[in-house]
């Protein structure tokens, strides 16, 4: 539906908030993760990868997230809106993004109301996360 692709702004936002790791780590939700938030490669404990592999996994994950945003959003987006949604979906995951009130409001073309939804996604295990508060604020501003 969209001819948009992520801009350098989107990539900067994601890399500014996501952990860049060469070694597998717990993402805070109990999932082993590696690179820039990658779980799909199913890293084992103590797995280590090169910087080139981190970049490759990141680019592949970014392509997947763009496909989800492209197939889920039914209204025309501006570049900054698209970038904010890709960053958001990259962080919360594709299934959460697809079920979100944020997406429902965007598809109803209620973008002002949708922007307010970013602030609801700031919890880790029931507690507000300062990192997520900062990220959502940036995504909302970008949107």
Gap between the Cα atoms of 88 and 82, Å rounded: 10
**Does residue 64 sit in helix, strand or coil?**
helix
| Residue 21: φ, ψ to 5° | -135, 135
Contact (Cβ atoms closer than 8 angstroms) between residue 83 and residue 90: no
Q: Are 127 and 118 in contact (CB under 8 A)?
A: no
| Residue 60 is among the residues annotated as catalytic for this protein | no
Written as six digits, the tokens of 63 are 């392509």
Q: Which of 18, 60, 81, 139 is catalytic?
A: 18
Structure tokens at 78: 């501006």
End-to-end CA distance of the chain: 19
* Catalytic residue list: 18
């Amino acid at each position: 539906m969209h001819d948009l692709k992520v801009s350098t702004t989107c990539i900067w936002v994601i890399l500014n908030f996501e952990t860049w790791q060469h070694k597998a780590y717990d993402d805070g939700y109990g999932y082993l993760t590696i690179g820039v938030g990658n779980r799909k490669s199913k890293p084992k404990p103590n797995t280590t990868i090169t910087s080139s592999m981190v970049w490759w996994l990141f680019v592949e994950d970014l392509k997947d997230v763009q496909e989800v945003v492209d197939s889920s959003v039914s209204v025309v987006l501006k570049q900054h809106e698209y970038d904010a949604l890709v960053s958001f979906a990259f962080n919360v995951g594709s299934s959460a993004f697809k079920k979100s009130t944020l997406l429902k409001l965007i598809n109803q073309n209620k973008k002002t109301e949708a922007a307010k939804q970013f602030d609801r996604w700031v919890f880790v295990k029931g507690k507000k996360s300062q990192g997520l508060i900062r990220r959502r604020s940036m995504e909302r501003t970008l949107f």
